[in-house]
Chains A and B, each alone.
Chain A
Amino acid sequence: MDPSSSLYLLDKVWLFPAIMAGSFLIILLVGKRFSERVTSGIGIVAVSLCFLMSLLVGAQWINRVNHPPTGAEMAAAQVACGVAPTESTAGGGAEGEHASTEAPAAESGSEHGAPVAGAVEGESAAGVVTQEGEGHSTESEAPADGGSHSEGGTEGQAEEAHHESVVPVCKSVEWFHWGGVQFDAGTLLDGLAAMMLFTVTLISLLVHIYSKAYLHEDRRFTHYYAFLSLFTASMLFYVLSNNTLQMLMGWELVGLCSFALIGHWWEEKANTNAALKAFLTNRVGDVGLLVGIIVTFFAAGGKTFNVFHINEYALGAGLGTTLLVVGALCLFGGVTSKSGQFPLHTWLPDAMAGPTPVSALIHAATMVVAGVYLIARMYGVFFGALHIGSGELLGVNYLNWVAIAGGLTTLVGGTLAFVQHDIKKVLAYSTISQLGYMVMGLGVGAWTGAIFHLFTHAMFKACLFLGAGSVSHACHHTFDMREMGGLKKYMPTTYKTFLWASMALAGIPIMSGFWSKDEIMSGAVNNKYYVIFAMGAITAAMTAAYTTRMVHLTFHGEYRGHAHPHESPKVITVPLVILAVLAFVATFLNLPNFTHAETLPWWSLRFEHFVQPTFAFPPIGPPPSLPEVPFTLWLAIGSFAVAVLSGYLMWVYQTGNALRGLTERVTPARAGYTLLVNKYYLDALYTDVIVGGIKGPVANAAYWTNMKIIDPVVVGTGVATKAVGRFVYRFIDQGVVDRIVNTSGLASSETGQFLRRGQTGKVQQYASLLFGSAVVFVICLILAVR
């Protein structure tokens, strides 16, 4: 596709959040006046437009990967993304030691990559990269500090094994300028972003359609759709950001929408509590995110927040420095809360209080993966800090907490899913567990595996959640599995889709979930993270088990509830079908290189090929680039076997009597059960111990300070002021000022009184004065003339 064509969307991706934001505003402002049909229609139209655009974007990106820009075009694109062009002469890189506050005239771009960039301005700037003059050159100046290391880059094009360097499409404008730092606002489109666009818009579209029936005649229908649009806009904005500051903005916005949507039925206190818990727990993690952004900003030179610049620094000058480790771990703090990692995962199950489509969109497919996306985007930082790929979890100045947390999270999520009665809670813990997989994958170096798992998980988890919604819709809005059962004969479509999605979750090779999970495990083993691998393997078994339990309790056996279940309307079941089909189709997107061939067969590893960021790691210096994860056959067969085995065991447990009542009879089992039911007492820890412990003494201390210190000061000030006032009044005002004023008045009046005596009213006195003065005048006249 010709870059200058008007349909070339790669540099117009800002339209995605813009359209959704527009939809949000329209629904918010005028939605109430129209029927539900129109309101949902606006949202659905906007999202479908974005979805179609995302398909176009995907196609154009694939085209770009197949025909990557070279030469001047590539240099221009690199400059636009904030990295020194790899074709520049060595001198050009060195020259870039200038501060970013240099004269930002457009010509200065030519100082940089001498003849190359100069030629760029003229011809292809229009098409591929359109910049405003300032943003262009100052951005190009800024990373020159890191770019001076890119002299090694003159080695040129061929970096990683069989992937070519494909420059993403960036576009940015100067937002504002302060203290020598330029803050830009911009978009970034590479494979990862394109994939996220597709995922987010697809799931959002299906949820929009699904919600039409699910929230029919809801008390705040308009609100809901408005927030759905806002959420989609925020998520798209987040995904398309090219600098960490913008990512922070999007991050916070999605957190806000999550809060609003969880608490959609805020009339019930439980929902409000859940929404607050979600928001506040996220806030705790956001502290880490903020600190992390700041640390990485300053570590990378304190000039720009640009993602590529920071990654470049992390893999170059900052490799292995303690500062970078601090930055990475702080960033991971944000991920911990947003993506439900081990200590801060407690909000996710409670967030199930929101409507089910919301859970599907936000807490399964999209928002919770924002943390995973963050790690993926800033992978240079994590890679450089935590020695990912080396097999060591603990080093001199680092701890690969990313992998450890991921592992722990999978275990925690998996174990807790067993003891839930609420189907949505099972799915919530399952989500936590799968998120743990993704984070774990990123922590051990299986970047593509984790991202592919993100992709497939979005499909099948959304399908599961929407299926749960369909089930509850039929069972009179109960989510308790104890009141379900035997629904497979009443709701065949729902059952089938649910089953397929569960197979994906459990890791049956037919469905895509198996392949993505397998890639992660493979990465763990190949990079020698055996402990992490063990955690993942145990969890895989647990996943299969609790999934079987869930499906069995819901759909098999006899119906235990009181409602009259029936199949849900088409508007609900069609998205389920679509998602289940996609979960199946996704399998073929990333089929591994079974035969370990030297050059990839055309059908293999397509996802990786298009999505893997070959550009986030500019070819610089010593550190290894992203490790290749080969397909390990024994691992694949092994995990499949484990899944089947544990599923069968659970089946036996559910249908038979052999292991029934174990937890009642055996005390350690009972203790374990209690521990699980109380969610590892984490909630109690957070709410009662930490918060309560702070709340009480802090409140008391504050009260004491107020009473004993602040109040006396205030009162004292008041009393003192009063005394001063009184003094001033008596002595100064009355004594001095009044005296002056009165004296002057008195003087006037006395003078007047004195002069008054001349006005006797007697004519003869006036006459005497008259004559007398005439005489005097004449005398004077005579004397003068004399």
Chain B
Amino acid sequence: MFSSETFGVDVAFSVIAVVMVVSAVRVVTTRNVVHAALYLVMVLAGVAAQYILLASEFVAITQVLVYIGAIVVLFLFGIMLTKAELGISNDLDNNAPQKVVGLVVAVMLAGVMGYALWDKWDTTKIDAMNHTVAELGQTTPQISDSIFSTYLVPFEVASVMLLAALIGAIVLARRD
């Protein structure tokens, strides 16, 4: 990290990463629902930026459009419709024992995963500098080629699933 070749990338990454982590932590600890949603936006945006760094622009754009543009809006609607207490509310967290349990589990999880990652891919590099974006394979044309040829069936299925979810959500939430 922070080598001369990748200095800019690494700095960008680090900054964004820190922001993301802090925002994520705030998502799960804040006592304001709307703030949590907004922090979530930060996280999602950060993720999109990371996608750009990984030369997958289509995914980044999709992330922004779908996640931030639709899903977060959905969350805000949800907050509104469930008449959540705006402002600070003490009603968002579980009781302490449960929180401790959650903390323990999360820490353990992180620890395990971290150990595994460190163990395996300690020195592996993504050799992005020496390849063109097209060679890295995540360009839009390549993705679309892949979706509409190799992964056509999952694509169709995903469409049907979205339809089902749409109908389902309507049915579930209608007033009658």
Q: Is B116 an interface residue (CB 8 A)?
A: yes
Q: Is B164 an interface residue (CB 8 A)?
A: no
Candidates A764, A772, A782; contact of B108 at CB < 8 Å: A772
A775 and B105 form a contact (CB under 8 A): yes
Tell me the nearest residue of chain B to A775, going by C-beta. Answer: B108
Q: Is B112 an interface residue (CB 8 A)?
A: yes
Tell me the nearest residue of chain A to B108, going by C-beta. Answer: A775
Known: A764-B94, A764-B98, A765-B98. A771 touches B112 (CB 8 A): no
**Min CB gap B17→A, angstroms:** 24
A768 and B105 form a contact (CB under 8 A): yes
Residues of A within 8 A of B104 (CB): 772
Tell me the nearest residue of chain B to A778, going by C-beta. Answer: B112
Residues of A within 8 A of B102 (CB): 764, 768
**Min CB gap A784→B, angstroms:** 13
Residues of A within 8 A of B112 (CB): 775, 778-779, 782
B109 and A775 form a contact (CB under 8 A): yes
For the complex, give the distance between the alpha carbons of A782 and B113 in Å.
11
Q: Is the interface of A mostly helix, strand, loop or mixed?
A: helix
B109 and A771 form a contact (CB under 8 A): yes
For the complex, give the distance between the alpha carbons of A768 and B103 in Å.
10
For the complex, give the distance between the alpha carbons of A771 and B102 in Å.
9
**Min CB gap A775→B, angstroms:** 5
Candidates B94, B98, B105; contact of A772 at CB < 8 Å: B105
| B104-141 contact mask (Cβ, 8 Å, vs A): 1 or 0 | 11001100100110000000000000000000000000
Interface range for B = 10 to 19
For the complex, give the distance between the alpha carbons of A765 and B115 in Å.
26
**Min CB gap A770→B, angstroms:** 9
Tell me the nearest residue of chain A to B113, going by C-beta. Answer: A778
A771 and B105 form a contact (CB under 8 A): yes
**Min CB gap B107→A, angstroms:** 10
Q: Is the interface of B mostly helix, strand, loop or mixed?
A: helix
Candidates A768, A772, A782; contact of B116 at CB < 8 Å: A782
Residues of B within 8 A of A772 (CB): 101, 104-105, 108
Number of cross-chain contacts by CB at 8 Å: 24
For the complex, give the distance between the alpha carbons of A765 and B105 in Å.
11
Residues of B within 8 A of A768 (CB): 98, 101-102, 105
Within 8 A of B (CB), among A728-786: 764-765, 768, 771-772, 775, 778-779, 782
Tell me the nearest residue of chain B to A786, going by C-beta. Answer: B119
Residues of B within 8 A of A771 (CB): 105, 109
Residues of B within 8 A of A765 (CB): 98
For the complex, give the distance between the alpha carbons of A771 and B101 in Å.
11
For the complex, give the distance between the alpha carbons of A346 and B104 in Å.
119
Residues of A within 8 A of B109 (CB): 771, 775
**Min CB gap B115→A, angstroms:** 7
**Min CB gap A120→B, angstroms:** 109
For the complex, give the distance between the alpha carbons of A764 and B98 in Å.
8
Residues of B within 8 A of A778 (CB): 112, 116
**Min CB gap B154→A, angstroms:** 26
B115 and A782 form a contact (CB under 8 A): yes
For the complex, give the distance between the alpha carbons of A778 and B116 in Å.
10
Residues of B within 8 A of A775 (CB): 105, 108-109, 112
| B35-68 contact mask (Cβ, 8 Å, vs A): 1 or 0 | 0000000000000000000000000000000000
Tell me the nearest residue of chain B to A772, going by C-beta. Answer: B105
**Min CB gap A774→B, angstroms:** 8
Tell me the nearest residue of chain B to A779, going by C-beta. Answer: B112
For the complex, give the distance between the alpha carbons of A375 and B102 in Å.
119
Residues of A within 8 A of B98 (CB): 764-765, 768
For the complex, give the distance between the alpha carbons of A356 and B38 in Å.
135
For the complex, give the distance between the alpha carbons of A140 and B105 in Å.
107
**Min CB gap A79→B, angstroms:** 109
**Min CB gap B14→A, angstroms:** 28
For the complex, give the distance between the alpha carbons of A589 and B109 in Å.
136
Residues of B within 8 A of A779 (CB): 112
**Min CB gap B106→A, angstroms:** 8
For the complex, give the distance between the alpha carbons of A775 and B101 in Å.
13
For the complex, give the distance between the alpha carbons of A686 and B109 in Å.
116
| A7-45 contact mask (Cβ, 8 Å, vs B): 1 or 0 | 000000000000000000000000000000000000000
For the complex, give the distance between the alpha carbons of A782 and B116 in Å.
8
For the complex, give the distance between the alpha carbons of A775 and B103 in Å.
13
For the complex, give the distance between the alpha carbons of A187 and B134 in Å.
129
Tell me the nearest residue of chain A to B104, going by C-beta. Answer: A772
Residues of B within 8 A of A764 (CB): 94, 98, 102
Residues of A within 8 A of B105 (CB): 768, 771-772, 775
For the complex, give the distance between the alpha carbons of A771 and B107 in Å.
11
For the complex, give the distance between the alpha carbons of A764 and B115 in Å.
26
For the complex, give the distance between the alpha carbons of A775 and B116 in Å.
12
**Min CB gap A771→B, angstroms:** 5
Tell me the nearest residue of chain A to B102, going by C-beta. Answer: A768
Within 8 A of A (CB), among B86-109: 94, 98, 101-102, 104-105, 108-109
**Could you list which residues of chain B lie within 8 angstroms of chain A, going by C-beta atoms?**
94, 98, 101-102, 104-105, 108-109, 112, 115-116
For the complex with contacts A765-B98, A778-B116, A782-B116, 15 further pairs of A-B residues with Cβ separation under 8 Å are A764-B94, A764-B98, A768-B98, A768-B101, A771-B109, A772-B105, A772-B108, A775-B105, A775-B108, A775-B109, A775-B112, A778-B112, A779-B112, A782-B112, A782-B115
Among all A-B residue pairs, the 6 with the closest Cβ atoms: A775-B108, A771-B105, A772-B105, A768-B101, A778-B112, A775-B109
Pull 24 A–B residue pairs with CB atoms less than 8 Å apart, ordered by A.
A764-B94, A764-B98, A764-B102, A765-B98, A768-B98, A768-B101, A768-B102, A768-B105, A771-B105, A771-B109, A772-B101, A772-B104, A772-B105, A772-B108, A775-B105, A775-B108, A775-B109, A775-B112, A778-B112, A778-B116, A779-B112, A782-B112, A782-B115, A782-B116
